[in-house]
A = this chain, B = another copy of it.
Amino acid sequence: MRDEITKRILCQKVINGIKWKDVADEIGCSKEWTAAACLGNMKFSQDQAQKITQIFQLDDEDTKWLQQIPARGCQADSLKNDPLIYRWQEIISVYGPALKEIIQEEFGDGIMSAVDFTMDIQKIASPTGDRVEVTLSGKFLPYRNF
């Protein structure tokens, strides 16, 4: 089902040299969200699903699956050893306690949402080597007593 579609999307991407940036422009979203959605972790609107079907030469039935809410996070375990992904794990290990302290000192008791959330990745040129700058923005959700 959705898994199979993700594999076919990736195959088409490789064979036809499609760029996430271009897909994103086509469906009117950021490249970050577009990639997350094409990889099976977000649902598309009807209009987007039709465009995705066209770009990646999928079947009509797939258009319906692309509009379903997916089971998110399925691929996470198979990527746990990948060095790029692990660096993010390491950020949580090393900076996680500080993250908790600072957010709670500045905002009070609550969390940073991973649902009402956006992510933006920029390439920052630098004489000592390019830097990856990732900006994560999540709504602060306060705990309340009841």
Contact = CB atoms under 8 A, between A and B. Distances in A.
Most-contacted residue by chain B among A15, A90, A130 (CB, 10 A) = A90
B116 A146 contact: no
A137 interface: yes
Nearest to A70: B82
- Count copies of this chain in the complex: 10
Interface residues of A, number: 99
A68 interface: yes
Interface string A5-42: 00100110011010111000000011111011101011
A77 to B, nearest CB: 8
A113 B82 CA distance: 13
A3 to B, nearest CB: 11
A100 B76 CA distance: 12
Contacts of A101: 20, 35, 39
Nearest to A130: B140
